[in-house]
């Protein structure tokens, strides 16, 4: 039996736009034919995925008459039922059509904003109809090339008004839906508002219904900003806000590469999977593992499926490596050495008595700093586990 063969319990998902990517870039045309949503669902089911994610227009063309929409949705539902595949997440495409060139919810023209609201209301209905539990907002066009065009504070107010509006709508309709905000620092806009997951986490606390809204961090986006993705995800998890996650790979300082999961910076990928799987003891992330990535432009259709297999296989290999690492007696010993359980209770929950006891402790900073922490050894062990030299 192949240890790394995925199945539905792994909760692996792909956006229709990920394996469906035709390889178009700013310098060249499509290199692959467009796969139909049904083809994608069928093939991913064979490969062991749990489900798919979609934008409204990945399924229903923009402006399609209602009858046409209903026919497409019914056909798609039939393929989902036949394959047992789920729609885990859905979204509204608020970036592709030229109408969104100045943003969607932040556009200066209120008619453009109204169109974005109209489109999103319909996309939310579609998401619920297809059984999606999470609705993502990725505001790719919510930004500016020149900040002379609007006060960024006004943009934030408009974004807040929009998210509040859709929360109210979901509540009124009794939709079992949660919203997840996805940050990105730039591309396609010169600067995108709320550039990182940290920005999003603060923004959420300013909303009317913060409990309905979480984040959807993406490896590539945080890495583009030169930040630690692991720290961003950890902050979201600790706040109970990791509603969804976009996995891919990215080299720092580049355009949004959306590469196959684990294909760059394997060490960060290892630490990320370790965090999500909770192998070091923290709470495990229980949501879908979404690969928001696409195959190299060099690939034909077979290469696309190789890419999809690779994302899932690498995740499972890293999970296995992380479990082995965290079960290793030497690793555990090195981590445990740092701890002093007797002292911990003094370091949280202020009381006057605790403050007094802290003051009375004999702590010699020179003595404390003389001690080596063995992190070189710890990290070398990590590398040896990662390379499979130690198991
Ligand atoms: C787009 C973007 C992704 C987002 C998608 C959701 S669309 O492909 O690059 O990062 O997650 O809207
Ligand atoms: Mn994404
Ligand atoms: Mn991306």
pLDDT(2) > 90: no
Q: What is the pLDDT of residue 338?
A: 82
Which candidate in 56, 58, 265, 292 is catalytic? Answer: 58
Residues 124 and 213 in one domain: yes
Residue 100 is assigned to a structural domain of this protein: yes
Residue 17 is assigned to a structural domain of this protein: yes
- pLDDT bin (cut points 50, 70, 90) of residue 361 is very high
CATH number for the domain harbouring residue 263: 3.20.20.150
What atom of ligand 1 comes closest to residue 18's alpha carbon?
8
Q: How far is the CA of 152 from the centre of ligand 2 (A)?
A: 23
For the chain, give the mean pLDDT: 98
pLDDT(1) > 80: no
Residue 135 is assigned to a structural domain of this protein: yes
Q: How far is the CA of 206 from the centre of ligand 1 (A)?
A: 24
Residue 1 is assigned to a structural domain of this protein: no
The last residue of a domain, from among 324, 348, 377: 324
Residues 203 and 278 in one domain: yes
8 A C-beta contact, residue 154 and residue 160: no
What atom of ligand 1 comes closest to residue 218's alpha carbon?
10
Report the percentage of the chain scoring pLDDT > 70: 100
Residue 267 is assigned to a structural domain of this protein: yes
The last residue of a domain, from among 275, 292, 324: 324
Residues 280-339 pLDDT 10s: 999 999 999 999 999 999 999 999 999 999 999 999 999 999 999 999 999 999 999 888
The last residue of a domain, from among 306, 324, 342: 324
Q: For residue 299, how many C-alpha atoms fall within 13 Å in the half-sphere facing its CB?
A: 18
Residues 311 and 354 in one domain: no
Q: What is the pLDDT of residue 358?
A: 98
- CA Rg value for the chain: 23
Neighbours of ion ligand 3 (CB under 5 A): 220, 256, 258
Residues 268 and 281 in one domain: yes
Residues 320 and 343 in one domain: no
Residues 350 and 249 in one domain: no
Residue 2 is assigned to a structural domain of this protein: no
Nearest residue by C-alpha to atom 12 in ligand 1: 138
Residues 258 and 361 in one domain: no
Residues 250 and 366 in one domain: no
Pocket of ligand 1 (CB under 6 A): 17, 55, 91, 136, 138, 182, 218, 246, 292
Look at the chain and report how many structural domains it folds into.
Answer: 2
Q: How far is the CA of 3 from the centre of ligand 2 (A)?
A: 28
Q: Judge whether 364 counts as a catalytic residue.
A: no
Nearest residue by C-alpha to atom 7 in ligand 1: 138
Q: Judge whether 55 counts as a catalytic residue.
A: yes
For the chain, counts of helices (H) and of strands (E): 15, 10
Residues 151-167 pLDDT 10s: 999 999 999 999 999 99
Q: What is the pLDDT of residue 339?
A: 87
Residues 45 and 165 in one domain: yes
Find the helix or strand (DSSP H, E) in which 201 lies: helix 197-204
Residues 48 and 118 in one domain: yes
Residue 278 is assigned to a structural domain of this protein: yes
The domain in which residue 51 lies consists of 8-324
Residues 179-237 pLDDT 10s: 999 999 999 999 999 999 999 999 999 999 999 999 999 999 999 999 999 999 999 99
Which candidate in 2, 7, 55, 164 is catalytic? Answer: 55
pTM (2 d.p.):
0.97
3-state secondary structure of 377: helix
Neighbours of ion ligand 2 (CB under 5 A): 218, 246, 292
- How many other CB atoms sit within 10 Å of the CB of residue 54? 26
Residue 288 is assigned to a structural domain of this protein: yes
Residues 320 and 357 in one domain: no
Strands 143-144 and 191-192: antiparallel
Find the helix or strand (DSSP H, E) in which 272 lies: helix 266-277
- pLDDT bin (cut points 50, 70, 90) of residue 108 is very high
Q: What is the pLDDT of residue 96?
A: 98
Q: How far is the CA of 220 from the centre of ligand 3 (A)?
A: 5
Residues 10-27 pLDDT 10s: 999 999 999 999 999 999
Residues 265 and 119 in one domain: yes
């Amino acid at each position: 039996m192949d240890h790394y063969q995925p199945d539905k319990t792994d909760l692996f998902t792909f956006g229709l736009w990920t394996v469906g990517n035709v390889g178009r870039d700013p310098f060249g045309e499509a290199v692959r034919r467009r796969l139909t949503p049904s083809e994608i669902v069928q093939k991913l089911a064979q490969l062991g995925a749990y489900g798919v994610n979609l934008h409204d227009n990945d399924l229903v063309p923009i402006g399609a008459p209602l009858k046409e929409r209903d026919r497409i949705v019914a056909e798609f539902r039939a393929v989902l039922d036949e394959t047992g595949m789920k729609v885990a997440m859905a979204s509204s495409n608020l970036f592709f059509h030229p109408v969104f060139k100045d943003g969607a919810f932040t556009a200066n023209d209120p008619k453009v904003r109204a169109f974005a609201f109209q489109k999103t209301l319909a996309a939310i209905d579609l998401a619920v109809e297809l059984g999606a539990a999470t609705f993502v907002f990725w505001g790719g066009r919510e930004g500016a090339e020149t900040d002379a065009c609007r006060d960024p504070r006004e943009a934030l107010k408009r974004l807040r008004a929009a998210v509040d509006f859709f929360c109210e709508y979901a509540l009124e309709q009794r939709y079992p839906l949660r919203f997840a905000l996805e940050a990105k620092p730039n591309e396609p806009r010169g600067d995108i508002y709320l550039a990182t997951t940290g920005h999003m986490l603060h923004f959420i606390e300013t909303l009317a219904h913060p409990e309905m809204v979480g984040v959807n961090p993406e490896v590539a986006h945080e890495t583009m900003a030169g930040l630690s993705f692991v720290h961003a995800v950890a902050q979201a998890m600790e706040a109970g806000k990791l509603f969804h996650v976009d996995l891919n790979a990215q080299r720092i300082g580049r355009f949004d590469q959306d590469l196959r999961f684990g294909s760059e910076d394997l060490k960060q990928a290892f630490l990320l999977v370790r965090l999500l799987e909770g192998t070091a003891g923290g709470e495990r992330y229980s949501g879908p593992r979404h690969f928001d990535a696409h195959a190299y432009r060099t690939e034909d259709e077979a290469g696309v499926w190789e890419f999809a297999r690779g994302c899932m296989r690498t995740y499972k290999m890293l999970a296995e490596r992380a479990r082995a690492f965290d079960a290793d007696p030497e690793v555990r010993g090195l981590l445990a050495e740092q701890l002093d359980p007797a002292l911990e209770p003094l370091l949280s929950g202020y009381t006057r008595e605790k403050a007094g006891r802290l003051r009375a402790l004999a702590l010699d900073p020179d003595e404390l700093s003389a001690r080596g922490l063995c992190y070189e050894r710890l990290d070398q062990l990590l590398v040896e586990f990662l390379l499979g030299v130690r198991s």
